[in-house]
Amino acid sequence: MWWRSVYLKTLREGRIAVLGWGLGVGLLILAVEASVGSVMGAAGAKQALAGITQSFKWAAEPVAVTTVGGYTTWKLGFTILIMAIWPLIAAGRILRGAEERGTMDVLLSVPRRRLRVALESLAATWTTLLVMSLLVALVTSVGGAMTHAGYGLADALLFGLNLALICGVFGSIALLISQFTLQARTAAGATGGLLFFFIVLDMAHRVIPGTLWLSVLSPVYYYNLSKPLIPSFGTDPWALVLLLGISVVLSAVAIAIFVRRDVGLNVGLVRRRGARRRGAAPQPALPADAWSLRSVYARGLVTVSAPALWWTLAIAGFAAFTMVVTKQMSVQLQTLIKDSPTMRMVISALGGGISGANEALLGALFGFLPLLIMAFAVTQATRWSADEEEGRQELILATPQPRQRVLLARYAAVATAGLFIGLVTLGAAVGTAAAVGLSLQTGNVVAATLSIVPQGLLMAAIGYLFSAWLGTALESGLLSFLLALWFFVSFIGPELGWSKAVLKLSAFYYYGTPLVHGLPLGDMLIVLGVAAAALVLAAVSFARKDIGRA
């Protein structure tokens, strides 16, 4: 049945994503609902929660935070947008990915119009996203009933619809960008950068007064106009319509471009090909004696340089942004912690710190840095797997080079990029802190920024190990799921009172709170040890496998 149409085949490919992301995000919301229900039972907890959320209003607008639905909405904030990762990857692949694999040529060789292929692929992606959001809504409604949150199934369904629409916007952006690139991962990476940029843009009016005009340029702003889990706030129907309209327009433009361009080329290449027909000089081929072709490591550096630059700007920019936010919020937070014993209890229960307002706030924010650099490592690990699927590794292995050396050289290039990201992030953090007059222990800032590098090395090593058995699509999905699972354990585990043995299953546990407690040397060595073991296994597996076979 699943092979009768492009729609059904594409829908079949998203079956794992529906369960993984739908149930995963739903359980994340359920865990927040359960944890806040237990915290609110303490005397004075509601007043303390109101004070805490006002101090962190830069992340999300605190509305009715003394209710389960209000606190859940605030607590998740922009974190819930992690679900947008799936559509921005999937939408970039439905057309461009098929062109890369060569399956689009075969598909279009049968009597089927391009427009129909594109529309069926897009419809299947949207169906998957809507079913995913339906699962999120159903689990959310169960949590609301368990905690007597005051919202029903209809509100939960509107919450899921709002989430699906904002995710659809970023999927449509990826689909459009993929018409201007030659690789689906390039479109996904660029869209991921825009997702981060729009999140920060939405924060602008909550951090810097008078910048609402900037925030309205972000689609995330219109997503936040609806808060269905807060019955007193409700849903903005015009915001939903606007998000849907943005997705429709962007998708229509992308499909119109796809219908009119040559398969396998992008818009830019079409123009260059036309220029050559008019007599323009052809582009010179890559010289055989280029420095980047002298070793696998050098070529790996060139391959990773462009994405590493964008990821560096995003991660270092986020670190600098946190310094500005902390300067504005630190005085208020420190006063609240000092004057309220209940506040200290609630902060501790919700996973925060008490030792130093600046370090406590920054510690919470810097906890996202390992997530970002590990996401970068996922993209590079899947790129290694894609090189094998697309036949590029055969060219390298045709030369007299041991397989282990090839893998280790590529990994070394990724490690170099990770170290570069860490050093630039350190410079941005220290420089911004000095510029805004934020008093911090420099040693702890160094530890907090450079400790993210082992996290990236661990994820890259695991990705290289998975590539011995999995294709690019499965590897990308499994690594993304592992990253989301780790984040879930560290983000929710302390609130649910999970044991330290369970928390240690997450790689984020070993990052610790270096801004408060300094360099976690022992934990860092554990992460590096596991990364080294995974890398050795990856090298052995790569040396023994048949290239091109998972």
Q: Which is more confidently placed, 11 or 474?
A: 11
Q: Which is more confidently placed, 532 or 20?
A: 532
- How many whole angstroms separate alpha carbon 89 and alpha carbon 86? 5
Taken in order 168, 309, 463, 451, the sign of the CA dihedral is negative
Burial status of residue 340 (CB atoms within 10 A of its CB: 0-12, 13-18, 19 or more): middle
At residue 284, the 3 state secondary structure works out as coil
**256 and 371, same domain (yes or no):** no
pLDDT of residue 424: 92
Q: Which is more confidently placed, 445 or 14?
A: 445
pLDDT of residue 473: 60
Q: Tokens representing 453?
A: 């590098």
- How many whole angstroms separate alpha carbon 155 and alpha carbon 144? 10
**106 and 144, same domain (yes or no):** yes
- Domain end among 206, 241, 273: 273
Q: Residue 1: pLDDT band by 50, 70, 90 thresholds?
A: low
Q: Angle between the 472-496 and 452-466 helix axes, to the nearest 10 degrees?
A: 140
**Are the CB atoms for 86 and 132 separated by under 8 Å?**
yes
pTM beyond cutoff 0.85: no
pLDDT tens for 231-255 read 888 889 999 999 999 999 999 999 9
Share of the chain above pLDDT 70, in %: 76
Query: Among 199, 176, 191, 193, which Cα is nearest to 248's?
Result: 176
**168 and 264, same domain (yes or no):** yes
Q: Tokens 């911090």, residue? A: 440
Q: Tokens representing 433?
A: 């802190």
SS (H, E, C) 372-400: HHHHHHHHHHHHHHHHHHCCHHHHHHCCC
Count the residues in the chain. Answer: 550
**387 and 260, same domain (yes or no):** no
Share of the chain above pLDDT 90, in %: 12
pLDDT of residue 158: 92
Does 546 score more than 50 pLDDT? yes
Q: Residue 293: pLDDT band by 50, 70, 90 thresholds?
A: low
**Are the CB atoms for 307 and 379 separated by under 8 Å?**
yes
Does 181 score more than 80 pLDDT? yes
Q: Tokens representing 358?
A: 């600046």
Domains held by the chain: number: 2
E strand or H helix at 463, and its extent? helix 452-466
**407 and 541, same domain (yes or no):** yes
**Are the CB atoms for 154 and 229 separated by under 8 Å?**
no
**318 and 261, same domain (yes or no):** no
Which whole number is the average pLDDT over 96-109? 75
- How many whole angstroms separate alpha carbon 317 and alpha carbon 312? 8
**269 and 308, same domain (yes or no):** no
pLDDT tens for 511-523 read 877 877 777 788 8
**362 and 464, same domain (yes or no):** yes
- Domain end among 216, 241, 273: 273
Domain assignment of residue 49, yes or no? no
- Domain end among 238, 273, 308: 273
- How many whole angstroms separate alpha carbon 210 and alpha carbon 336? 26
Which whole number is the average pLDDT over 361-382? 79
Mean pLDDT (the chain, rounded): 77
pLDDT of residue 284: 47
- How many whole angstroms separate alpha carbon 480 and alpha carbon 379? 10
Domain assignment of residue 65, yes or no? no
Domain assignment of residue 412, yes or no? yes
pLDDT of residue 209: 72
At residue 227, the 3 state secondary structure works out as strand
Which whole number is the average pLDDT over 113-135? 88
Domain assignment of residue 280, yes or no? no
Domain assignment of residue 543, yes or no? yes
Domain assignment of residue 154, yes or no? yes
**266 and 406, same domain (yes or no):** no
Q: Residue 173: pLDDT band by 50, 70, 90 thresholds?
A: very high
DSSP 234: B
- Listed in sequence order, the residues at least 6 apart from 490 whose beta carbon sits closer than 8 Å to its beta carbon are 367, 503, 506, 508, 509
Which whole number is the average pLDDT over 177-182? 86
Residue 211's CB is within 10 A of a number of other CB atoms, namely: 14
pLDDT tens for 446-470 read 888 888 899 999 999 998 888 877 7
**241 and 332, same domain (yes or no):** no
**260 and 328, same domain (yes or no):** no
Which whole number is the average pLDDT over 495-514? 79
E strand or H helix at 193, and its extent? helix 184-207
Q: Tokens representing 310?
A: 């964008």
**300 and 262, same domain (yes or no):** no
Quote the domain boundaries for residue 302: 294-550
